[in-house]
Amino acid sequence: MTQPAQSTSNPLLQLWRNQESRGVIIQIVTMVVVFALLAAIARNVVINLEAVGKEFSFGFLLWPAAYDIGFSPFLEYTNRSTHLRAAVVGLLNTLLIAFWGCILATMVGFVLGIMRLSSNWLVSKLSYAFVEFMRNVPILIHILAIYAIVVTLLPPVKKALNVGADAFFLSNRGFYVPSPVFEDGATLVGIVLLLSIALVYFFKRWARRQQDDTGKIYPVLWVSLGILVALPGITFIATGMPLSWDVPVLKGFNFKGGMAIKPEFLALWLALSLYTACFIAEIVRAGILAVSHGQTEAAFALGLRPNRALQLIIIPQALRVIVPPLCSQYLNLTKNSSLAIAIGYMDITATLGGISLMQTGKEMETMLIVMGVYLVISLLISSFMNWFNHRIKLTER
């Protein structure tokens, strides 16, 4: 059992022949090559920027932006604001569309996924056809098509459809709805609402503990709803209904007052949500099919009613399969929202990565910021979904 003599002849060759050290060597070489490439690219960029005489700096963020943004629901913004503020307005618009997009996509996705599993032939095939149509056409086409439909099919603003009570109007400039105006005492109602939410939370915990200890099941849902409706409702009436509505009225060129859901937002929201919903539908279907039928039978054998079986046995196990791929769909939706620029929805790609870039000529800097912003949003979504996944994972006892 002696070592073969030739392997000791050259120590370098020996290192190479050893599987473990060879792995380390290959990794080091790969790292060096990758970093050399990155360095070469960075150097090239610096040289080229210098050659055209451009300085790499972020000072432009504090210059006045000088352009207007038509859709800024959260922040006061005028054309005297800075590029930084324009970027924040864009970021908030991106978050807004991503938030509502994820919610609608999840809702539609779950419905489509469950429809697909229905034993009713028509329902199942309808879902199938819709899913296959939506997900096999590029998302940009959906956005442009829905926008074109909204803008050309809906009537112009002077002939806006009165869809209810002289307060809701539909036109190709947007869906106008009354906006709430809070008066004195509204804060109290808000505080009571928050208190009721806290109360519901503690009631739920108490009910769970009672169930664990005594086996008695409390009607948590109905009691919670009662608390949430009754307490703020009573306060609202007691404070003399401190709420009025600002109703939109056609004045001059446009509606004044109220709130408007702009066609750009509507088209982008529908397109992103419906497109992503189709992928979510398939994920949901896969998740439910992944729970073997034996689980349902076992639940019934234990005497659980069908909806309790669904709630306690099927859904928790299906979620385990559904949540991880759901996360990547949320990421896709958020990143796809950058297509907003095609129809003039002012997200961060359109403000900082579009007009600010154009007006200042800072391609490198603006693009780096935009990339960084999407990266951070995506990482936040990922970590939230990881946390959620960890929370719902099966506790095996």
Partner 1 sequence: MRQKTTAVLSAAALVLGMVGTAQAGTLEDVRDRGVLRCVVSTGIAGFAQPDANGVWGGFDVDFCRATAAAVLGDASKIEAVTSTGKTRFTKLNAGEGDVLWRNTTITFSRDVSVKLRFHGVNYYDGQGFMVKKDLGVGSASELDGASVCIQTGTTTELNLADYFSSNNMNYEPVPIETNDEARQNYEAGRCDVYTTDASGLASTRSALPNPDDHMVLPEIISKEPLGPATRHGDDQWSDIVTWVLNATITAEELGVTMANVDEMKGSNNPEVRRLLGVDGSQGSELGLSDDWAYQIIKQLGNYGEIFERNIGVNTPLGIARGLNALWTDGGLIYSPPFR
Residue ranges in contact with partner 1 by CB under 8 A: 37, 40-41, 44-45, 48, 51-54, 66-70, 78-80, 148, 151-152, 156-157, 172-173, 251-254, 256, 263, 341-342, 344, 346, 350, 354-355, 357-361, 363
CA distance 173 to 317: 45
Nearest residue (CB) to partner 1, 270 versus 319: 270
Distances (CA, A) of 329 to 137, 333, 378: 17, 6, 11
Smallest distance from partner 1 to CB 253, Å? 4
- Helix count (H) and strand count (E) of the chain? 14, 8
Nearest residue (CB) to partner 1, 172 versus 382: 172
Nearest residue (CB) to partner 1, 232 versus 353: 353
User: Where do we find the tokens 């559904």?
Assistant: 322
Nearest residue (CB) to partner 1, 87 versus 192: 87
Smallest distance from partner 1 to CB 335, Å? 20
Contacts (Cβ under 8 Å, ≥6 apart) of 205:
none
Cβ 46 vs Cβ 237: under 8 Å: no
Q: Which two tokens stand for residue 348?
A: 């961060």
Helices 186-214 and 220-238, interaxial angle, to 10°?
A: 160
Q: Which two tokens stand for residue 352?
A: 């900082």
Smallest distance from partner 1 to CB 286, Å? 33
Nearest residue (CB) to partner 1, 68 versus 183: 68
Smallest distance from partner 1 to CB 78, Å? 7
Smallest distance from partner 1 to CB 395, Å? 44
Smallest distance from partner 1 to CB 386, Å? 32
Cβ 25 vs Cβ 15: under 8 Å: yes
Nearest residue (CB) to partner 1, 23 versus 361: 361
CA distance 201 to 278: 34
